[in-house]
Chain A
Amino acid sequence: MSTTPIDGGLGCPSQLAPPAHDQTRADPAPFVQDKDGEKSLELAVTGARCAGCISKIEGSLTALPGVTAARLNLSSGKLHVAWRGELKSRDITETVADLGYTAVPFDPTAAEQEADEHGRFLLRCLAVAGFASANIMLLSVSVWATNGEEMGEATRALLHLVSALIAIPAVAFAGRPFFSSAWNALRRRRANMDVPISLAVVLAVGVSLFESMNGGEHAYFDAAVMLLFFLLIGRWLDHRLRRRARSAAHDLLALQATTAVRLDDRGHAEAITAKQIAVGDRLVLQPGGRLPVNAKVLEGRSDIDTAFLTGESAPQVAAPDDHLFAGTQNISGRLIVEATADMAGSLLSDLIRLVETGQQAKDRYTMLADKAARLYVPVVHTLAAVTLAGWLLLGAELREAIMAATAVLIITCPCALGLATPAVQVVATGQLFRRGILVKSGNALERLARCRHIVFDKTGTLTTGRLDWINQGDLGPEDFRAVAALSRTGLHPVARSIAEVAGSGAIADDVTEVPGEGIKGVVDGLGVRLGRARFVGADEPQTPAEGTTAWLKIDGKAPQELHFRDSIRSDSAKTIQDLTQAELTVSLLSGDHPHAVASVAESLGINDYRAEVTPVAKADHLEERKRDGAVAMVGDGINDAPALALADVSLSPGSAADAAQSAADLVYQTGGISAVYAAWRMAVRARRRILQNFAFAAAYNMVAAPLAMAGYVSPLIAALAMSGSSLVVTLNALGLMRGDKT
């Protein structure tokens, strides 16, 4: 399962090899949708990133017989293929795979189907508000520029009237998101941010209409519409952010569209979706395949990788009557298994419950913006009411008093506040996305910024989950050549790690792989065996050595012991150091054996570690940690999923088990764990910018509100103040794009 280089034809300039995926070989047939003979299939394509990729993929697919449409959406990586006739769906995935990309069937029913109607609605409102504010501003500027001297009263009245004609329908159209939300809140006898906004807009238009009808000098049409425009920008950014996060979560679900091969009574194989597996089904599990449900082995022997499930790095042996859990991966031999549970019943029910309770706790988190809004709404209402009462008490006319109160509402309206958070978050998630870090929930960054402690899983997170050969120096050059030749043909992690060290070269003859035992073959006329002690005829050692061991036996020589260790990712030590320097505390929780965990922890400088932790114990440990402050969890296994869900914020690598990726808030595709530090840095910087924006908005209001209450805010000043504050807040957010200074 090495990565496939992209070659031939129009090369992709990025030269990035698509990540290896175990489902590449899955038959997508069960996911084909058939509508009156027109068949279609949705695939998630990884590795495509330029025009060359589009033309290669679409070109070779349309060249297949019967294909009527092939369209790759580069932004979402989704490929839609439609065809008529006898073409096999498997040919489609293989055509794409042959080009060097991975294509995984995508279950469109699990993905979000709605075409983002609300987003479009907001965009339409935004367009109308933008159009109206630009045009009204054009008219208003000419009124302000003449200073009331050169322009006749009739002309001014005409300009105000035209403004009103633009503003009234525009407000009625573009104000709907605010009006309906405010109305809903009021019906439930609550006040949200949209209540003062709606009030300000409606009052401003009403008062201005009254003024311009009576030949008054001041009209706030521009302010009302511009207010909507700025707020809609914030709304739309916020919506897009949430939607992107939500669709990332949905896409992960849709990508769990795993397939299985079922044997019917007569022994015929048939591809089905994992969801269709029923208890008692006989399934074929090929080497490299991952088991979608809990099952019992009927026939065959093989090594299986349970790292996702238990965190254990060394493979186990599966023989008939052994029970296997969903999520284990078959390594060497073909197995026939009987499903003992369906998809829903397969994850331990405990795990599911833990994941769900963890998620609920996260949903209860209140975002900074909501906290600010709660403070803000009563203050604004009070200020406006005080202004109205004050002016009336001082003997002003009702008209004047209402004008002043409206000015207060407009000027304090949360343009800056509405943009403060979404602008920063859009920039921050965009920056992280470019570095291959996907933020899956809207408030994940805020939660991450609060964390002072990070819990890591070992296998697959701090380590690569692959074995590293540590005593290759003990072997003579000839023995090395022999074991390399034998290993190049093997599938077992031990063989793969030797082959990786040896590079390409000659391969052994007459190779047979005995699942659960080892591999044997002939090199230069001599029989070579690699595997367990009893397989090569050596004595089983009394004390098990640290890590994984394998034995090598070459005809005519004594057996030799080879040692392997789960290899630590190249950037793990640096990342742990960076995190500790940033005054975060780090700990390690693993399901692996104590000696394996201890050696990793020691070489990374982690003092706080625990081994042989069960999934439930991981979650309990997290719960305990949370009492001392917010905790982040980084993990990749199914056994980590409850802990990931329970942590205040969780991260998982793109290579993680589906359950872990679904439970995590951030998924990073970068391979190393430096993404954890990068994400934390960005989260902290983003929070600082958000707080700066709030501070600015508060300072602005402290200056502007008294002016408005005193009646000094003319339409010109209102327009300047509003656009100026929004601009400052947005520019501050954009500052996140500049290097890592603040």
Chain B
Amino acid sequence: MNALLFLLPIALILGGLGVAAFFWALKDDQFSDPQGAAERILLDDDQELEGSNTDR
């Protein structure tokens, strides 16, 4: 039963990290275009990040 003493905190911290990651993703607008995100993964050419326009 002593294992509980460290397993419980570990489980909670890992789960908490998941929730924190979800909060961050929500804040980062990652759910604003689910359809686009699903399609964009198929684009294989390298594109500059938004806002950094260089001549291609």
Q: Which residues of A contact B (CB under 8 A)?
A: 50-51, 54-55, 58, 62-63, 67-69, 71-76, 115, 120, 123-124, 127-128, 131, 134-135, 138, 152, 155, 158, 162, 166
Question: How far is it, in angstroms, between the C-alpha of A134 and the C-alpha of B40 when the chains are bound?
Answer: 33
For B50, what are the chain A residues with a Cβ–Cβ distance below 8 Å?
69, 71
A638→B36 CA distance, assembly (Å): 35
Bound Cα distance from A155 to B33, whole angstroms? 47
What are the residues of chain B within 8 A of A162 when measuring CB–CB?
A: 8
**Cβ of A644 to closest chain B Cβ, rounded Å:** 30
10 interchain pairs (CB within 8 A)? A51-B42, A55-B45, A62-B48, A68-B51, A73-B36, A74-B39, A75-B33, A76-B33, A115-B29, A155-B4
Q: How many B residues, CB 8 Å from partner?
A: 31
- A135:B42 contact, CB within 8 angstroms: no
Picked from B8, B16, B36, B51, the residue with its CB within 8 Å of the CB of A75 is B36
Report the minimum CB–CB distance from A53 to chain B (whole Å).
8
B2-41 toward A: CB 8 Å interface, digit per residue (1/0)? 0010001001100110110011001101001111100111
Question: Chain A contacts of B15 at CB under 8 A?
Answer: 131, 134-135
B43 x A54 contact (CB < 8 A): yes
Which A residue sits closest to B8, measured CB to CB? A162
Contact B34 A75 (CB under 8 A): yes
Q: How far is the CB of A245 from chain B (nearest CB, A)?
A: 18
Q: B11, A67: Cβ atoms under 8 Å?
A: no
**Interface SS, A side:** helix
Identity of the chain A residue whose Cβ is nearest the Cβ of B42 in the assembled complex: A51
Nearest to B50 among chain A residues (CB) is A69
A71 to B33, CA, bound (A): 11
Which residues of A have CB within 8 Å of B42?
Answer: 51
Provided the pairs A68-B53, A69-B51, A135-B12 are in contact, do residues A127 and B22 lie with their beta carbons within 8 angstroms? yes
Q: Report the bound CA distance from A55 to B26 in whole Å.
A: 25
Nearest residue, chain B, Cβ from A124: B23
Q: Indicate if the CB atoms of A67 and B53 lie closer than 8 Å.
A: yes
> When the two chains form their complex, are residues B35 and A75 in contact, meaning their CB atoms are under 8 A apart?
yes
Closest B-chain residue to A123, C-beta based? B26
Docked CA distance A406–B3 (Å):
34
Q: How far is the CB of A121 from chain B (nearest CB, A)?
A: 10
Distance in Å: Cβ of B6 to nearest Cβ of chain A: 13
**Given A69-B51, A71-B50, A155-B4, A51–B40 Cβ distance below 8 Å?**
yes
> Which 4 A-B pairs rank lowest in CB-CB distance, beginning with the nearest?
A74-B36, A51-B39, A51-B42, A75-B35
Residue with the highest number of chain B CB atoms closer than 10 Å, among A74, A115, A124, A138: A74
- Nearest chain A CB to B1 CB, angstrom units: 6
A-B contact count (CB 8 A): 63
Contact A166 B12 (CB under 8 A): yes
List A contacts of B39 (CB < 8 A).
50-51, 54, 74
Given contacts A54-B43, A74-B33, contact A158 B51 (CB under 8 A): no
Q: Which of B16, B36, B45 has the most CB of A within 10 A?
A: B36
Counting chain B CB atoms within 10 Å of each CB, the highest count among A72, A76, A131 belongs to: A131
Q: Which residues of A contact B34 (CB under 8 A)?
A: 75
| Nearest CB of B to A170, in Å | 10
B18 partner residues in chain A, CB cutoff 8 A: 131
Q: Complex: how many Å from CA A667 to CA B38?
A: 26
Verify B11–A54 contact, CB threshold 8 A: no
Contacts A54-B40, A68-B51, A120-B26 given; indicate if A128 touches B19 (C-beta within 8 A). yes
Closest to A53 in B: B39
> A246–B18 Cα gap in the complex (Å)?
32
Q: Which residues of A have CB within 8 Å of B56? A: 62-63
Q: How far is the CA of A155 from the CA of B47 in the complex (A)?
A: 56
Q: In the assembled complex, which residues on chain B have CB atoms less than 8 Å from the CB atom of A68?
A: 51, 53
Knowing A69-B50, A73-B33 touch, does A55 contact B43 (C-beta < 8 A)?
A: yes
> How far does the Cβ of A50 sit from chain B's closest Cβ, in whole Å?
6
Are A127 and B51 within 8 A (Cβ)?
no
- Distance between Cα atoms of A502 and B29 in the complex (Å): 52
Which residues of the partner chain B approach A58 to less than 8 Å between Cβ atoms?
A: 47
The reply to whether B51 and A72 form a contact with Cβ atoms under 8 Å apart is no
Determine if A127 and B19 form an interchain contact, defined as CB atoms under 8 angstroms apart: yes
* CA A158 to CA B3, docked complex, whole Å: 13
Least CB distance from A176 to B in Å reads 15
Distance in Å: Cβ of B22 to nearest Cβ of chain A: 5
Instruction: Find chain B residues with CB under 8 A from A166 CB.
Output: 12
Residue among B1, B22, B29, B51 making CB contact with A155, cutoff 8 Å: B1
Contacts of A63 in B (CB 8 A): 56
- Per the bound structure, the CA–CA distance linking A74 and B43 in Å amounts to 14
Q: Which residues of B contact A51 (CB under 8 A)?
A: 39-43
- Asked whether, in the complex, the Cβ of A72 is within 8 Å of the Cβ of B4, the reply is no
Chain A residues near B11 (CB-CB < 8 A): 135, 138
Tell whether, in the assembled complex, residue B1 and residue A74 are in contact, meaning their CB atoms are under 8 Å apart: no
A62 to B40, Cβ gap below 8 A? no
Beta-carbon contact of B8 and A54 below 8 Å: no
Residues from chain A with Cβ under 8 Å of B27 in the complex: 120
Chain B residue numbers with a CB within 8 Å of A55 are 43, 45
* Distance between A252 CB and nearest chain B CB, rounded to angstroms: 20
Complex Cα distance, B12 from A76, in Å, reads 37
Contact A62 B53 (CB under 8 A): yes
CB nearest neighbor in B for A135:
B15
Closest CB-CB distance, A65 to chain B, in whole Å?
10
Q: How far is the CB of B53 from chain A (nearest CB, A)?
A: 5
Nearest B residue to A158, CB-CB: B4
Docked CA distance A54–B44 (Å) = 12
B49 to chain A, nearest CB (A): 10
Quick one: closest B residue to A72, CB to CB? B36
What would 9 more interface pairs be, CB under 8 Å, given A54-B40, A74-B39, A155-B1? A55-B43, A67-B53, A69-B50, A72-B36, A73-B33, A75-B36, A76-B33, A127-B23, A162-B8
CA distance A51 to B45 in the complex (A): 11
Q: Using Cβ atoms and an 8 Å threshold, which residues of chain B touch A128?
A: 19
B32-A73 in contact (CB<8A): yes
Q: For the complex, give the distance between the alpha carbons of A58 and B53 in Å.
A: 12
Give the residue name and chain of the A residue nearest to B16 (CB).
Answer: A131
CA distance A138 to B12 in the complex (A): 11
Q: Which residue of A lies closest to B12 (CB)?
A: A135
